Structure 1
């Protein structure tokens, strides 16, 4: 295997965006596209050309104008026929007023959204967190972290993930999966581990210089919760920094280990038991 010392990852840049729409007594009057149609009519003096500029069909443009006029309670468009240069179309005073007011409101709306964006420096991290919270999975243990090391191999890659409290998880994934997920040092990822895949070591063996194990993942903590069942118990360890890890232990195993709230223990699981994922 070869160590990847540096691998550029693209940060997730997120921002706020909002469309401004006008409504009258709870009825949707106009949005950006309809008001853009009014603006083009004022500029070009032609409904045909204005419709084309905004992406409406001629019929669609008329439907939009009629809908706005009906909601406004008076015509927004005035068609002038004849004359030396032929007929032309213009906004009525009500239509022009609507357009002017919309443009003023739109400017203030743009400034408001810009202020929100400036105040949302942590939005990317919060978005990733919300995505992780919304994720539904049968795995009892879910850890969010940052990839701190990546060792590539011909078939499998070994990934190290720094999690809350400064502890590290190790996962092995296929080379193909690693490339598909775009795993890289510095990238955010989450790890899933089934509680049934976690073994517990407690007592003297859990202390420094205790048992030497081949399992790459050994998370030290303190038993904070023990839910007894008829056959198996669920044991939850509190980890440094505020995280937790859960394990399923048989009734006999729990008694043999002397598991109780407050007891120091180590959660042990293989790198192959860790499923890695990334937010899209």
Structure 2
């Protein structure tokens, strides 16, 4: 008769987590962007803050644009004298996010048990911090709410409302709609590569492209062949396009000029936070 040895008792599963991830000594996730916000708060200068956290000036501004987009509201107030001017300040929302993140950082080994009671509004702020830590190669990351879902024979058309009132439409498969749990009123974000964004003058035109986002040119950064053009849709949302220098000249694009960002619905990727 074979004797059966009972399995060794298992340790109880426990929930655990950390505030940031590290790979080769580099901080990943949300820590770098929160550190940038804290440095802006402490120095009152984007230039000084970028230097303090080891970012280039351009990388700092790219991060600020992305954070404003993902937050759905301004986190960094406009600086007097232009993008590099002095007197840069954080909004109340940004200050609260920093406080929330740092509190979780101090309490990270206990927060699963205590943080719900320790921090007022933690659930909403933590979801926002998760969006700020999103890492993707897509230059444009726009947060919003699903305002409409149109079912088709094969694909679904997802309409995402942005904070400033404009909308973005994406075409996804039925399976993607179900997998992402998309419903009207749910939070989601749109990912759009800068090379997929076309620009045109702000004038009446009939186009097959579903998305036509109106805004004001915030910056034009020229390279050897192409230029990076950032369009402000509102106080909190920007869209960046990569177009040729010749196109910049042809359209006469310059800061302050009205323009339209054109994006095909098939070029928009929809995502959600877990």
What's the TM-score bracket when you normalise by the shorter of the two chains? 0.5 to 0.7
Query: Does residue 236 in structure 1 map to residue 237 in structure 2?
Result: no
Moved over 4 A (4+): none
Change (3 A) 1:117 1:244: same
Deviation of 1:187 after TM superposition, in Å, equals 0.6
Q: C-alpha distance in 2, partners of 1:125/1:151?
A: 28
Report the 3-state secondary structure (helix = DSSP H, G, I; strand = E; otherwise coil) of the residue aligned with 1:230. coil
Report the 3-state secondary structure (helix = DSSP H, G, I; strand = E; otherwise coil) of the residue aligned with 1:164. coil
Deviation of 1:119 after TM superposition, in Å, equals 5.3
The within-5 A match list for 1:1-280 is 113=114, 117=117, 120-121=120-121, 123-202=122-201, 206-207=202-203, 210-280=204-274
Deviation of 1:196 after TM superposition, in Å, equals 0.4
TM-score, length of structure 1 as denominator length: 0.56
Deviation of 1:184 after TM superposition, in Å, equals 0.4
Report the 3-state secondary structure (helix = DSSP H, G, I; strand = E; otherwise coil) of the residue aligned with 2:234. coil
Report the 3-state secondary structure (helix = DSSP H, G, I; strand = E; otherwise coil) of the residue aligned with 2:224. coil
Structure 1 contact 222–264 (Cα < 8 Å) conserved = yes
Deviation of 1:125 after TM superposition, in Å, equals 2.6
Structure 1 contact 164–241 (Cα < 8 Å) conserved = no
Q: C-alpha distance in 2, partners of 1:125/1:167?
A: 23
> Aligned pair count?
166
1:37-91 per-position Cα deviation (integer Å, ceiling 9, x unaligned): xxxxxxxxxxxxxxxxxxxxxxxxxxxxxxxxxxxxxxxxxxxxxxxxxxxxxxx
Structure 1 contact 145–161 (Cα < 8 Å) conserved = yes
Q: C-alpha distance in 2, partners of 1:174/1:215?
A: 19
TM-score, length of structure 2 as denominator length: 0.57
Q: C-alpha distance in 2, partners of 1:258/1:153?
A: 40
Q: C-alpha distance in 2, partners of 1:232/1:128?
A: 36
Q: Which of these two proteins has the greater Rg computed from alpha carbons? A: 1
1:154-191 per-position Cα deviation (integer Å, ceiling 9, x unaligned): 31000000112111010010011111111100110011
